[in-house]
Amino acid sequence: MKRVSYVLGMGLCLGFTPTAQAQWKPVERIDTYAVNGRTGIDLYRSIGEHGPKVSLGRTIAYTTFDLKWSRKYVPEGGGCRLASARPHLIIIYKLPKPSGPLPPETQRLWDKFIKGITAHERVHGEMILDMVKKIEATSIGLTVADDPGCKKIRQELTTRLAALSNEQRRKSREFDKVEMSDGGNVHRLILGLVNG
């Protein structure tokens, strides 16, 4: 199981076959944590107190995933070929949710805020999905010579997948940097919630 988090606040052009993609679909799951308050500023303070702990502090929301693979390695002519690689992907969004009803004006502010935060996190989810498609494309058909026990192919695959994973992380960090900079989308969403 591989679990990687891309955190709000912290901060490949291989094709894939439509047939292979049609055989699986990711599962998306939304987990929430409770926040309290009757005003936008109170809700934001509660996010700061109750938000998920990551790295150096707390965050508003984050996207993570659980990725497992069903792979079929086939010894061929003294080498080994990866005949199939089917992902089992769960994309998990962790988002804040008010613990009770909000006054109408605060509800309006919250709805706009959480809609924007959710959209931001879904971009991270799309980046994860794109990475998995690229992993699938680079995996299926991979062949390593002189590998009758199908051991070398696993090392080669790990090297290739690490590059794809690192690229996805870099893109995610760059996206967060833009979104959370002064005047960035997330920055504006926070100001809209806090200042009305």
Q: For the chain, what percent of residues have pLDDT higher than 70? A: 89
Whole-number Cα distances in Å, 162 to 21, 37, 98, 132, 159: 21, 43, 38, 12, 5
Length of the chain: 196
Q: What proportions of the chain, in percent to the nearest 5, are helix, strand and coil?
A: 45, 30, 25
Q: What confidence category does residue 196 fall into, taking pLDDT thresholds of 50, 70 and 90?
A: confident
Query: Is 12's pLDDT higher than 70?
Result: no
pLDDT of residue 17: 42
Q: What confidence category does residue 18 fall into, taking pLDDT thresholds of 50, 70 and 90?
A: very low
Contact 90, 66 (CB under 8 A): yes
pLDDT tens-digit map of 59-103: 999 999 999 999 999 999 999 999 999 999 999 999 999 999 999
- Tokens representing 59? 């965050």
Number of structural domains, the chain? 1
Quote the DSSP letter at residue 52: P
Q: Alpha-carbon distance 186 to 26, whole Å?
A: 26
Query: Is 13's pLDDT higher than 70?
Result: no
Cα–chain center distance at 196: 30
pLDDT of residue 191: 97
Contact 66, 3 (CB under 8 A): yes
Domain that holds residue 62: 2-195
Query: Is 16's pLDDT higher than 50?
Result: no
Dihedral Cα 108, 111, 113, 117, nearest 10 deg? 180
pTM, two decimals, is 0.85
